Amino acid sequence: MQQSPTISVVITTYNRPDALAAVVEACFLQDDKNFEIIIADDGSTANTRDTVAGLAARSPLPLKHVWQPDQGFRAAMARNRGTLAATGDYIIFLDGDCVPQRDFIARHRALARPGFLVSGSRILLSQALTERVLREHIDVAGMTVLERLRHRLRGDMNKVLQTMLRWPDVGRVRRSFSWRRIKSCNLAVWRADLEKVNGFDESFVGWGHEDSDLVLRLFHAGVGRKDGALATEVLHLWHREAKRDEESSNRKVVLERAANKTVQAVRGLRDHAGEGPFSQP
């Protein structure tokens, strides 16, 4: 019988403490509480530090805050540092604006299988619903079926059945590589597999495609992929689109790596060997 993995949830954040609090609070309410939380902070200010300190003080789970100076979009580095701070052998990457449902950890644990990663999916919330959730501290993951249906009819959720249906672990393995549904906002990878490819590649400049690059390199390294849809959905709080100035050049790099069957990150986990976490001023 396969042993249950030890799980670390690495939550990436940047200057959005209200959304981060909603995500972490939902982690506190998980059905399966056998995991730890690592806040991978890409240079947030004192507001986030104070929010995390307050959450840590009443957390029912181990919780760490890993911070790095704000030098532009460096989510890949934040995730690598979060991975290095983690103690689990299975890492679930979650964004600080993606609220997990109650069975998120349990479902990821059930889908975990050596030699495979799990790419999850998300439900998009409208600006109006997001603002209300954050302003009124609404437990959006705990909404009733009727409430979810009402929000879907109003256009405040782009999908709803996916939040209620649960498909068993059947037919989830992808036999060939696909660009579809690669989102580091909801992605589970074995730590050993991350180490095998040197983690996320920090050489990417600006927003975009560092998550596709990771999954592609893992595929080249022989790591399979399972689809986490209808099991691991998260509720994605609305936000303005990030600047995508470097997206086309980043995409070009990924396509070149697809052709070259690249496995190793140019700059990744191994570049932080022996490095301690930064302290926020």
Average confidence (pLDDT) per 10 residues, the chain, 281 residues: 86 98 98 97 97 97 96 94 97 98 97 96 96 97 95 96 89 87 90 98 86 95 95 94 68 92 96 73 51
Q: Judge whether 74 lies within some domain.
A: yes
Instruction: Report d(CA 129, CA 153) in Å as an integer.
Output: 13
Exposure letters 92-103 (e unless 16+ CB within 10 A, then b)? bbbbbbbbbbeb
The domain of 18 spans 7-204+218-241
Instruction: Report d(CA 259, CA 182) in Å as an integer.
Output: 18
Q: Which two tokens stand for residue 277?
A: 């976490």
Distances (CA, A) of 59 to 26, 75, 190, 228, 242: 11, 24, 25, 27, 31
Q: Which two tokens stand for residue 79?
A: 């995730």
> How many independent structural domains does the chain possess?
1
Q: Judge whether 135 lies within some domain.
A: yes
Q: Judge whether 272 lies within some domain.
A: no
Q: Judge whether 48 lies within some domain.
A: yes
Q: Judge whether 213 lies within some domain.
A: no
Note the Cα 67 to chain centre separation in Å: 17
Confirm if 238 and 126 have CB atoms less than 8 A apart. yes
Q: Judge whether 210 lies within some domain.
A: no
Q: Judge whether 102 lies within some domain.
A: yes
Give the residue from 225, 241, 266 showing the smallest Cα distance to 77. Answer: 266
Q: Exposure of 187 by Cβ count < 10 A (0-12 exposed, 13-18 middle, 19+ buried)?
A: buried
Q: Residue 153: give its domain's CATH number.
A: 3.90.550.10
Instruction: Report d(CA 100, CA 234) in Å as an integer.
Output: 5
Which residues share a beta bridge with 125? 157
* pLDDT at position 242: 64
* pLDDT at position 178: 86
